[in-house]
Chain A
């Protein structure tokens, strides 16, 4: 009995330490974003909104935020669309070289970001597309589509393969079956994938930094401010980015885990 209790406390403590290890830097950054002192030292100064006001009044930050939002939204739509198509191909068809097809589709995130970014930059300047908002969107889509595919594929795997045939059998054309059966069934995964890819795009620095040109995204402007001087507004922007991303990721998780009617329950 006593020993059990001890182990329990030990495990709880261990869990706490792990979380501390993971989140301490972020929490520190959030705390210092409300600290009036210019340098991050302890003891803390007084509570302040000053740094948030600074970034609120900074047109560069606003521009970057706008770019980031446009890029994230476009990326999430494009990447989810491509991911859905890839996942559906996998679900519906059997063909020679299907495994290679899947491996190729999942490859981009395994390439080191710097390599991918350099390659993108070189390629975009070749075809005269570098330094535009669209070049970031394309680069991020390449990066995000595999995540979208993985999420949607997981959902389609839970689907009774007879459902689509049943729709045809009841008079649905291929397109109607897609619209009224496949897409509704995959909807939780589609929304979840949109949140997830939006978060990835919103956070991504390396590729954006290489291909963005003058259209800076939030992570890029963070680095620029950081290079200039030590400035607590970094903490403020960081907090903003963190809250946005974590919200999207949690949302993605929640939507995907929404009780998925018909998949597990009536097996």
Chain B
């Protein structure tokens, strides 16, 4: 059990936790700024970016795919802004126009191009392949100290660790600007905290997190993790600092519990095959949100002043 656990389950769980935390951290600000669906839009448009990158380079190497997805995200954000301004359309509808169109274009490109030789399809983009990110060299716990075995770790692990680190750094460095800009953009502008560039920086960081996590775990987890843990955390506290703490806790809980339930749950119920880990992690995060919405101490918001 121990050996196969390190080999088959340790790295997927770690990658899941890292991806979930990397998304939940900026998600806190998205939820508070009522921009939750930006994450949804960005993770949809990653598909055409990846397909174009594949068509241009002919490989599924991580570098071009990440660049392609990030480029698509930037194009999408620009298009949304353009359509919103030119057409005087509400942001939600502009977003709906852009991300569905780009996703449709991605699907069409994918169907039209010859991708039969490589593992690239829409299902993969949606569900990810968390279960396949195993560590073959990790035959026992002792492998954690063996440099040869460590070098064979899935590259997603290191990449997501870096992204999470970047998220933490961004949040810490721009903490004041982010918080003030989130709660009172007008005041932020008046004291020179530059809510505009900060907001744009936040969207860029969201895109980075979405693209990096998307590569490892698929777009469902990305969307769920941008929203569910921060939303659950919001039911627990009125303060932004503790809210982020709660959200990271919930994200970790969802990743670990979801993976374990997906991998071992069916076996406990007498089945023989595991179910989708990405789907299960999203489901667990939803259950957590449901519980928080039912019984969270701050579910109805701060004490309202008599209006």
**Do the two shown chains form a genuine complex with each other?**
no
Interface residues of B (CB under 8 A from A): none
**A residues at B contact (CB < 8 Å):** none
